[in-house]
Amino acid sequence: MLDAAAAAASTAAAGRPAVERRRRLSPAALTVANQKVLRAYSPIVLAGIVRIADFVLLSLVGSVLYFGYVVPLSGFHWEYLAAIVGMAVSAVVCFQAADIYQVQVFRAQVRQMTRMISSYCFVFLLFIGLSFFAKLGNEVSRLWLAAFFFIGLAALITSRVVLRSLIRSWARQGRLDRRTIIVGADQSGEDLVRALKAQDDSEIEILGVFDDRNDSRSLDTCAGAPKLGRVDDIVEFARRTRIDLVLFALPISAETRILDMLKKLWVLPVDIRLSAHTNKLRFRPRSYSYLGAVPTLDMFEAPITDWDLVMKWLFDRLVGGLILLLAMPVMALVALAIKLDSPGPVLFRQKRFGFNNERIDVFKFRSLYHHQADPTAAKVVTKNDPRVTRVGRFIRKTSLDELPQLFNVVFKGNLSLVGPRPHAVQGKLQNRMFDEAVDGYFARHRVKPGITGWAQINGWRGEIDNQEKIQKRVEFDLYYIENWSVLFDLYILLKTPLALMTKSENAY
C-alpha cells in the first residue's frame, strides 16, 4: 500500500509543472519591491544628448540666418559654414569647461544660466577677436553676427528652460535616481546613510540596509533606512525591483566577510562598491570614485551601460531589422513546411531566462509534434528524439527554428542579436537545475540574452548532457560579457553561419 501510494504521488508530482524556487523576503523588503519603478535614464547619456543638441541648435541658427540673409546678398561662401561649425564646437567646449553638462546643474536655473551665458559671450568675443587680427572684419556681415548671437542665445536659454522642466519631472518620477542598498546595519552603516542623505542634489535613493547579524550591533533602522533582510536576500530582492548600486558599509579589515558576500552578489547586473568614508587607511584620490563627497572603492561594475547600452540597442534594432527583412522569405518557406509536415501551430512560445533573471517569452518555429510539446523544457531533446518532426530535425540542425526570435529582438527588445543564449527556466542537468550545477551560473544574465553568442560559435550549443557542456557555456558567456564591444558582436554575428555548418554535432 505504501509503495503504491508513493508511486502515485510521484506520478502526480511528475505531471505537475515544476514550481520555481523563489526566496522568501521580509515584509519590509516586499513593501519596497512591490513599489512601481520606472526605467532609469543614464546621466552620462543625457549629458551627451544635451551636448549634441547644443551643437545642432547653434549650427542650425547660424545656417538659417546665413542662407536667409547673407547668401541672397553676397552669394555662397564656405568660410561662413566653417565659422558656424567652429563657433558651435567652441561653444560646446566652453560649456564643458564651465561644467554645465551635469544633471545637478541642469536642475539649477541660476547657476546654469549664468555659466552658459558667460561661456557663450566668450565664444563670440573670441570669434570677433580672431576676425580682427586676421583682418576679416570687413568680410563678415555684422547684422548676421549680431542676429546669430542674440537668436542663438535666446534658443539656448529656451532649450535650458525646457530641459530643466524635463529633468525635474524625471527626478520626481525617480528616473534619475540611483537606487541603492547598504550592506551593514551597524554604526558604520548609519554614518554612511547620514553622509549620503546630507548631500544636496544627490541622486542616491537609499532603499534600505541588509545585514546577517541579529545581535545588538545590527540596527533595525540606519538613519531612517529600514533593515530589509539578510545578505542572502539581496539577489532575490534585486530581481524583484530595480537596484543600481550595492554599497558596503564595512571596514576594509573585514576582508573575509566582504569576499563571502561578493561571491553571492557579483552575479547581479549592478555596481558594487565599498565605502571608504570611515576607513583610516587612505589611498591616492584617483583610487576612489565618489558619491558626492563620499569616497568609495569599486568592486564590480554593471556591464554594458550608458553609451555602450545605446550602441548595442541601435545595433540590435538596425541590424536585426535588416536581417529580419532578408530572412522573411526563408521564414515563410519554413512556416509552410511545418504546416504541411504535421498538424499544429507554426510558432510556439517558451519561458526563458532574460536579463537579470526576468522571465521572457521566446518565439521559435515548432520542431516537436504538437501533442508532445514541452513548453517548460522539462525533458531535453536528445539524438533521434521521437518527439521531433521531420522538418523539426532539419530546422533544429540548421538553427532555422531560432529565426522567429528576431521578433523578440526588433519589436519586444527582450533579446539581443548577440549574447548568452537564453536557457529554459526549468533547464536541468541530471536532475539538477543549471544554477546548482555551475557556480556563478546566473552571472550570464547580467546582460540581455541573444540569438547567437560566443559560446555557440565555439561549438557549445545543443544538448546539455554533462557537466563540461554547461560549464563551458558559462565560461564563454562570461568572457563575452567582460569583453563586449560592437565589433565583437559583429564578429560573432558574421561567424555564426560558418559555425552552424561546421559545429552542429550537438544540435538535434
Distance CA 449, CA 196 (A): 35
Lowest mean pLDDT among 22-31, 285-294, 306-315: 285-294
**pLDDT range class, residue 2, cuts 50, 70, 90:** very low
For residue 187, the one-letter residue type is Q
Which pLDDT score is estimated for 283? 62
β 416-418/347-353 pair status:
unpaired
Which pLDDT score is estimated for 484? 94
Domains and CATH numbers, the chain: 24-36+177-300 (3.40.50.720), 43-173 (no CATH), 306-502 (no CATH)
Average pLDDT (195-218) is 83
With 50 as the cut, is the pLDDT of residue 11 above it? no
CA 239-244-248 angle, to 5 degrees, is 100
Whole-prediction pTM = 0.84
Q: Is 351 helix (H, G, I), strand (E, B) or coil?
A: strand
Which pLDDT score is estimated for 97? 94
Sheet strand arrangement including 294-300? 221-222, 225-229, 204-210, 178-183, 245-248, 271-275, 294-300, 289-291
Distance CA 133, CA 130 (A): 5
Which pLDDT score is estimated for 13? 39
Q: How many CB atoms lie within 10 A of CB 329?
A: 9
Which pLDDT score is estimated for 12? 37
* Interacting residues of 274 by C-beta distance below 8 A, sequence separation 6+: 247, 248, 250, 252, 258, 296, 297, 299
Distance CA 140, CA 79 (A): 10
Average pLDDT (216-226) is 82
Which pLDDT score is estimated for 255? 78
With 90 as the cut, is the pLDDT of residue 504 above it? no
**pLDDT range class, residue 122, cuts 50, 70, 90:** very high
Which pLDDT score is estimated for 506? 59
Q: Provide the mean pLDDT of the chain.
A: 85
Average pLDDT (164-171) is 92
Q: Which of 203-217, 333-347, 386-400 has the highest mean pLDDT?
A: 333-347
**pLDDT range class, residue 216, cuts 50, 70, 90:** low
Which pLDDT score is estimated for 94? 95
The b/e string for 220-230 (b: 16+ C-beta within 10 A; e otherwise) is eebbebbbbbe
Which pLDDT score is estimated for 3? 40
Average pLDDT (472-500) is 92
Which pLDDT score is estimated for 314? 96
**pLDDT range class, residue 100, cuts 50, 70, 90:** very high
Long-range contacts of 125-132 (CB under 8 A, 24+ apart): 126/90, 127/83, 127/86, 127/87, 127/90
Distance CA 409, CA 353 (A): 15
Which pLDDT score is estimated for 17? 44
Residue 199 DSSP label: S
Distance CA 214, CA 69 (A): 76
Which pLDDT score is estimated for 215? 67
Which pLDDT score is estimated for 14? 41
Q: How many CB atoms lie within 10 A of CB 323?
A: 17
With 70 as the cut, is the pLDDT of residue 136 above it? no
Which pLDDT score is estimated for 375? 65
Average pLDDT (343-372) is 87
Average pLDDT (21-49) is 89
**Left, alpha or beta for 357 (phi > 0: left; psi -120 to 50: alpha)?**
left
Lowest mean pLDDT among 70-79, 92-101, 404-413, 432-441: 432-441
Which pLDDT score is estimated for 380? 67
With 50 as the cut, is the pLDDT of residue 4 above it? no
Q: How far is CA 500 from the centre of its chain?
A: 29
**pLDDT range class, residue 9, cuts 50, 70, 90:** very low
CB half-sphere exposure, 423, CA atoms < 13 A: 28
Higher pLDDT, 374 or 110: 110
Which pLDDT score is estimated for 419? 94
Nearest Cα neighbor of 294 from 168, 175, 189 is 189
